[in-house]
Structure 1
Amino acid sequence: MDKPVIILGAKGIAHPALEIFNSNQVIVYGFLDEDQSLYGTEINNIPILGNPEDEGFLKLIGKKTEAFVAVDDVKYRKFLVEMLVENRKVQPVNAIHERAYISTDAALGHGNFINAKVTIGAGAKVGSHCIFHTAVIVDHNVVIGDFVQIGAGSIVNADVTIEEGAFIGSGVTIVAGVTIGKGARVGAGSVVIGSVGKNETVFGNPAAKIK
């Protein structure tokens, strides 16, 4: 990556995103965040410059810098991604830790956060703007939609499909071949042995629907 990066967001995954770019010798120009109390402060010597919607900073994106959206909240993440695409005609870059392993024939979209020790196996297809926390394992031929978040240490076995906007907590095991529906939520530590419907929340071992 030749251009420096502006990180949109200064909380949550923003600090580890900075560490990821540092691990790849990519310069981070600064952070943008809606919390005005953070302006003028720094994260590991990188300044929080202003608001993500400030045209003075946005005009740099696409010409002089790349962008990465480091926001955990899915709705706000989608808003910022759409703003970048519509206003700047750019897609956020991927943030992939140098100690992640991605198979040579896995497919990745844009704007994904992939932390250290993540493994993405052969033939896996990952959409855009997903968050993979430390040591997530995505086995071969898994299909993951856009805006999916998977917690640290979770194991997604072969041929699983995780649809757009699903949230998988930390330490979850998803057995081979099941489908996690759009917007579904899987509680931390759960073992998922059957498919989960759209917008359902499941928890436990084996995971059961929470009403």
Structure 2
Amino acid sequence: MYLYGASGHGKVAAEVAEECGYNIEAYIDENPSKIKVLNYPVIHEIPPYNIEILISIGNNRLRKRVVNRGGLFSYVTLLHPKAVISKRLKIGEGTIVMPGVTINAAVKIGKHCIINTNASIDHDCTVEDFVHISPNVALAGNVYIGEGTHVGIGASVIQGIEIGKWCTIGAGAVIISDVPDGSTVVGNPGKIIKVKV
């Protein structure tokens, strides 16, 4: 398999891939100064044949841009063996689940998401495509997270909340009411400080 993106998130993704038993051929990265990461070679052009790949870019918008660009890709889904995951989880292609994560029953996670270290996702949550759930985030039951949203490190979301598309939830925020599309929310309780139209 290949990892598309040779920066910080790419290093973590490599270790998850190794734990899952994948043989990493190389990183793909457009930065010509990158030659080797974690003893894996970095190439600067996509091979002209079908490859297994994980997009290992932390930025949600860039990850979506790579997917929309297309290519001869079969997307890999990585579930770290030290994550505790319900057998009733539905998960999309290209998503990575880090060590220490807990995902409970009847959760739906979309494509190309990052569920980061020690996050907790309770029953009946929906996480749409290109979302990043940061380390130590806690989502209570029946939470909905819209496409492209980034939930910052240590944030907590009470049950039944809906967070819209392409939102930014600040580190440590406590979300107790619904959040509209494009909002940036910080604090405890969470307050909207900006809405990108």
TM-score tier, shorter chain, comes to over 0.9
SS in 1 for 2:8: coil
Where does residue 75 of structure 1 map in the other structure? 61
Contact 2:89/2:105, CA 8 A, preserved across alignment = yes
Q: How high is the sequence identity, in percent, across the aligned residues?
A: 31
Cα drift, residue 205 of structure 1: 0.7
> How far apart, CA to CA, are the structure 2 residues paired with 1:107 and 1:150?
16
> How far apart, CA to CA, are the structure 2 residues paired with 1:196 and 1:208?
9
2:163 to 180, 186, 189: 180
Deviation digits for residues 117-155 of structure 1 (CA, Å, limit 9, x no counterpart): 111110000000111110010101001110001110000
Where does residue 118 of structure 1 map in the other structure? 101
How big is the alpha-carbon RMSD for the aligned residues of Structure 1 and Structure 2?
A: 1.2
Tell me which amino acid in the other structure corresponds to 2:40: I
Where does residue 191 of structure 2 map in the other structure? 208
| Structure-to-structure mapping, 1:78-117, within 5 angstroms | 78-84=64-70, 87-88=71-72, 90-117=73-100
Where does residue 9 of structure 1 map in the other structure? 5
SS in 2 for 1:36: coil
Where does residue 35 of structure 1 map in the other structure? 31
SS in 2 for 1:21: helix
> How far apart, CA to CA, are the structure 1 residues paired with 2:150 and 2:14?
23
Correspondence 1:19 to 2:15? yes
Cα drift, residue 91 of structure 1: 4.1
Deviation digits for residues 9-31 of structure 1 (CA, Å, limit 9, x no counterpart): 10021001100011122100000
SS in 2 for 1:37: coil
2:48 to 52, 55, 59: 59
Q: Where does structure 2 lack aligned partners over 5 or more consecutive residues?
A: none
Contact 2:61/2:148, CA 8 A, preserved across alignment = no
Deviation digits for residues 45-80 of structure 1 (CA, Å, limit 9, x no counterpart): 211122xxx2xx4224x2xx4111001222221121
Q: How many residues align?
A: 194
Q: Where does structure 1 lack aligned partners over 5 or more consecutive residues?
A: none
Where does residue 38 of structure 2 map in the other structure? 44
SS in 1 for 2:94: coil
1:154 to 131, 137, 150: 137
> How far apart, CA to CA, are the structure 1 residues paired with 2:18 and 2:74?
20
Cα drift, residue 44 of structure 1: 2.2
Deviation digits for residues 70-126 of structure 1 (CA, Å, limit 9, x no counterpart): 012222211211234xx32x4421122111122101100010121101111100000
> How far apart, CA to CA, are the structure 2 residues paired with 1:193 and 1:74?
24
> How far apart, CA to CA, are the structure 1 residues paired with 2:9 and 2:78?
11
